Structure 1
Amino acid sequence: MASGGSGRTATAGTAALLSLVFLLLQVSAGAGAGADCHFPAVFNFGDSNSDTGGLSAAFGAAPPPNGRTFFGMPAGRYCDGRLVIDFIAENLGIPYLSAYLNSVGSNFSQGANFATAGSTISRQNTSLFLSGFSPISLDVQSWEFEQFINRSQFVYNNKGGGIYRELLPKAEYFSQALYTFDIGQNDITAGYFANMTTEQVVAFIPELMERLTSIIQNVHGFGGRNFWIHSTGPIGCLPYALIRRPDIAAVKDKVGCSVTYNKVAQLFNQRLKETVARLRKTYPDAAFTYVDVYAAKYKLISQASKLGNAPWPMAG
């Protein structure tokens, strides 16, 4: 498991979680892009649950044993193999997403990844080195996306083709692409790690929803029409969270997860689900899919023996 930029290792995704992901991806395609599920590109925003190299490019490579079970070496992911976003790319038949911040060997022809480990929806008034949370918050990722559109299309259209057209997306891909969001977990843990009470953490969830809504509105303004939005996972099952705030972790459920942490995660997810519902009404020309990652991950944890002790991803 990884926590922001802390370097803790997460395990690879499991068949149970991926089956849910693929099923919902097909539902999303049927709702917004045709049942054939032909998204020519994916643009991702998030934290270490979906970071394919952003934090490594900016602040130093993720060290071993990250990447050992699939890539055979560290591959910018804070886990030992692939992330859900990698399996989504495989399922869509497109290359793994290159991190926007990675200047060497990147291919953006079918999407880009703006996620960095440790990222939050809100801006953090601290540094990565002090807190472990990335300065590349969701609004920064949004600015990067805007620059990517403008600069990539200028280069695509004005550099005479050749290698640039092999590495950059076609203009129409921005309206046809799948836009994925997996972020929010670190906002909750950042609040608790700053010694906030549960009431204080809960109190800023509406502001997080407003910020997220604003970013999605911006993406819609640039042509985005297919949105895939992950809920946050059962934070109360994360060892690093339990250790940092033992007072919050004191009361545990039968699985050994913090009741308080998980209640806050569930409240966050309920507000997120309501936010997605409002976005559907506001933008009837777009498809919004809310993905219940919490239920999938908690099932993997609580039924580990039934599922063959399969490892599960729980990054930040």
Structure 2
Amino acid sequence: MKVPSFYLRSWVLVASLVIQLITAMASDDGSGTTSSTVGALKKYNAMFTFGDSMDETGNICAASSNKTELDVLTCTHPPYGETYFGRPSCRWCDGRVVVDFIAQALGLPFVPPSKAKGQDFRRGVSMAITGGTAMNFSFYKSLGIEDPVWNHGSLDTQIQWFKVLMPSICGTQQSCQVYLRKSLFMFGGYGGNDYNVQLLELGLTPEQAMNYTPKIVSAIANGIEKLIALGAVHVVVPGIFPTGCLPIFLSLFGDAASETDFDNTGCLKPYNRLTEYHNSLLRKQVDALQRKHHNSTRIMYADYYGLVYRMVQEPEKVYQAIRGVLRGGRGEVQLRRHREVRYGGGHHRVQRPVDADELGRHPPNGGGEQGDRRRIAQRTLLHPSDPRLKPPKLMRRRMETESDSENL
């Protein structure tokens, strides 16, 4: 079974992230004391979510009625959705996403996408959409980015979508202040796609991308302030994943990296430093906002980086921690550094990465060309049969020549 892209996430990984979020939300009085039991969770009227494909529940599909457009989205094809819904549900996961687990833990229904027709949004709604960024598209357009993938709905755009829906959710401004005070807001994590644009489309180094981090974090902080002004009281703000551990970045940049660029887990240190810098600035902003609004608002930072990195370090321990609650799943990880595949408890050495044309997980030329990076960004959204994914003629000839040589 092919794994279509780095947007296909294991529900086991997602469920692990939820453990931390549930623990963070278990404090009933905002005093800082928490309980890890679901019974200690607050009772919320609703849950409202913002972000990108990590939290999307179908906006990218609901926004289009064109079957051809929908067909090129890999999330509309198996194996997406297979472990829970039994079919693709326009979620970039093989089952439920983070907000689905949170909703179930809170006794709330799954949040429908804000673009869905005829839905009741009073118990919750998702503004999250694939390609969502902290910065507005006009900012990236000024840097030469034209790809509409990054123009589906920025942070500001999603807040505007929510403002339009508010009358149908809670009525008047006064009644909304009361209703939203007892609702949960999941805000992000924003920033991942901002760095995807810079690293994959613009070809910046992690050090160069750091120059834009203060702007990105400032945009997230401004977004939190806007939600508070609308009446939000309970806000969860996740950081972003360790970029240097993501398969797409290991595939694209691992071959050109030196031995000293890898940490002892096989992750790329320069890319993780970028993520650490982003998360450290974000956490400082969250702390500052909490101090500013300490009498009225509870802002909770969710450390996605720390949890995912611990999973990379000790996957067996994380699996053991959740297996009592969740049934086990299968998983396979390509270790680019050593050309190994870790499966279960063993390691199996391979001669070269397999399925070189498989949605950019193992791109031709090791991802060393700008054209490769652009196709990788496209491959996160397009179906394998889409003609835009075919490499240029010269590159195809090179790949065919390499294949013929190996078969001799």
Shorter-normalised TM range: 0.7 to 0.9
Distance 1:82 1:235 in 2: 22
Mapping for residues 181-220 of structure 1, pairs under 5 Å: 181-182=187-188, 183-193=190-200, 194-220=202-228
| Contact 2:63-2:115 at 8 Å conserved across structures | yes
Whether the aligned pair in 2 keeps the contact of 1:192 and 1:245 (CA below 8 Å) is no
Secondary structure in structure 2 of the residue aligned to 1:228? strand
- Structure 1 residue 293: deviation in Å? 1.0
Q: Report how far residue 10 of structure 1 moved.
A: 1.3
Q: Is the 8 A contact 2:176 2:231 kept in 1?
A: no
Equivalent position of 2:160 in the other structure: 143
Q: TM-score, normalised by structure 1?
A: 0.83
Could you tell me which of 284, 287, 311 is aligned with 1:300?
311
Mark the runs of 5 or more structure 2 residues left unpaired by the alignment: 35-39, 65-69, 320-327, 332-379, 382-408
Task: Report the equivalent of 2:18.
Answer: 18
> In structure 2, do the counterparts of structure 1 residues 233 and 132 end up closer, same or farther at CA, with 3 Å as the change threshold?
same
- Give the alignment of 1:1-316 within 5 angstroms: 8-14=7-13, 16-27=16-27, 29-31=28-30, 37-59=42-64, 60=70, 62-63=75-76, 64-103=78-117, 106-124=119-137, 125=140, 130=147, 132-153=149-170, 172-182=178-188, 183-193=190-200, 194-246=202-254, 251-284=261-294, 285-308=296-319
User: 3-state DSSP class of the match of 1:51?
Assistant: coil
Identity percentage of aligned residues: 26
Counterparts in 2 of 1:177 and 1:150: CA distance versus 1, 3 Å: same
Amino acid at match of 1:186: N
- Displacement after TM superposition at 1:272 (Å): 0.6
Name whichever of 80-89 and 250-259 sits farther off: 250-259
Tell me the SS of whatever aligns to 2:316.
Answer: coil
Shift of 1:153: 4.7
Q: Identify which range, 13-22 or 127-136, moves more after superposition.
A: 127-136
Deviation at 1:283, TM superposition (A): 1.2
Change (3 A) 1:248 1:205: farther
CA–CA distance in structure 1, aligned partners of residues 223 and 216 of structure 2: 11
Greater Rg, structure 1 or structure 2? 2
Distance 2:249 2:148 in 1: 13
TM-score by length of structure 2 reads 0.65
Q: 1:10, 1:58 → 2: CA distance?
A: 22
Is the 1:45–1:180 contact (alpha carbons within 8 Å) kept by the matching residues of 2? yes
For each residue in 1:182-203, what CA deviation from the matched residue of structure 2 results, as whole angstroms up to 9, or x when unmatched? 2211112211121123232111
Instruction: Kindly provide the CA deviation profile for residues 39-84 of structure 1, in whole angstroms up to 9, marking residues without a partner as x.
Output: 1111111111111111122253622211001000111210001111
Residue pair 1:53, 1:99 contacting (<8 A) in 2 also: yes
Q: Give 1:260 shift.
A: 1.0
CA offsets 1:158-210 (integer angstroms, 9 cap, x no match):
xxxxxxxxxxx977322211111122111122111211232321111111122
**Structure 1: gaps (5+ residues):** 156-168
* Distance in 2 between residues matched to 1:75 and 1:13, nearest whole Å: 17
> RMSD of the TM alignment (CA)?
3.2
Preserved contact between residue 39 and residue 176 of structure 1 (Cα < 8 Å): yes
**One-letter amino acid matched to 1:261:** Y
Q: Would you say the 8 A contact 1:13–1:83 is kept in 2?
A: no
